[in-house]
Amino acid sequence: MRTIVVLDAPSNLGLRPPAPGTVPGCYKLAGALREQRVVARLGALEGGVVVPPRYDRGDWKAGDGVFNAAAIARYTRTLADRIEGHVRAGEFALVLGGDCSIQLGAALALRRIGRYGLAAVDGSADFRHTGNSEGVGAAGGEELAIATGRGQADLSDLEGLRPYLRDEDVRLFGMRDEDEDQVELAALKIPNATVGQIRERGAADIARAAVESLETPALDGYWVHLDADVLDPSVMPAVDSPDDGGLLPDELAPLLRTLVSSPRCVGLNVTIYDPDLDPDGSAGALLADLVVGALADN
pLDDT reading at 176 higher than 90: yes
**DSSP 3-state of 172:** strand
CA distance 228 to 196: 18
Output helix, strand, coil percentages for the chain, rounded to the nearest 5: 45, 15, 40
Give the confidence band of 3 by pLDDT, cuts at 50, 70, 90.
very high
Asked whether residue 58 carries a pLDDT value surpassing 90, the answer given is no
Give the per-residue pLDDT at 134: 82
Region 255-261: mean pLDDT is: 98
Q: Do 155 and 146 contact (CB within 8 A), yes or no?
A: yes
The answer to whether residue 107 scores a pLDDT higher than 80 is yes
Identify the burial level of 77 via C-beta atoms within 10 angstroms of its C-beta, where 0-12 means exposed, 13-18 middle and 19 or more buried. middle
- Degrees, nearest 5: CA angle 43-46-47: 135
pLDDT at res. 61: 87
Contact 120, 167 (CB under 8 A): no
pLDDT confidence tier of residue 63, bands split at 50, 70 and 90:
confident
pLDDT of residue 159: 98
- Compute φ and ψ for 268, nearest 5 degrees: -145, 130
Give residue 284's pLDDT.
Answer: 98
CA distance 283 to 274: 9
pLDDT band at 133 (very low <50, low <70, confident <90, very high): confident
- What is the arithmetic mean of pLDDT over 185-200? 97
DSSP letter at 97 equals -
C-alpha angle with apex 123: 17 to 220, nearest 5 degrees?
A: 105
Q: Is the pLDDT of residue 135 over 90?
A: no
Residue type, 114: G
Above 80 in pLDDT, residue 259?
Answer: yes
30 vs 28: CA distance, rounded Å: 6
Percent of the chain at pLDDT above 90? Answer: 93
Q: What is the pLDDT of residues 206-246, one digit of tens each?
A: 999 999 999 999 999 999 999 999 999 999 999 999 999 99
User: Would you state the pLDDT for residue 191?
Assistant: 96
What mean pLDDT is predicted for residues 49-71?
A: 93
* Backbone phi, psi, residue 222, to 5°: -155, 165
| Helices and strands per DSSP (H, E), number in the chain | 11, 8
Q: How many Cβ atoms from other residues are within 10 Å of residue 59's Cβ? A: 5
Q: What's the Cα-to-Cα distance from 237 to each of 122, 136, 196, 286, rounded to whole Å?
A: 15, 25, 20, 12
The mean pLDDT value of the chain amounts to 96
End-to-end CA distance of the chain: 6
Which pTM was predicted?
Answer: 0.98
For position 1, what pLDDT does the model report?
81
Kindly indicate the confidence band of residue 161, based on its pLDDT and cuts at 50, 70 and 90: very high
pLDDT at 298 exceeding the cut of 90: no
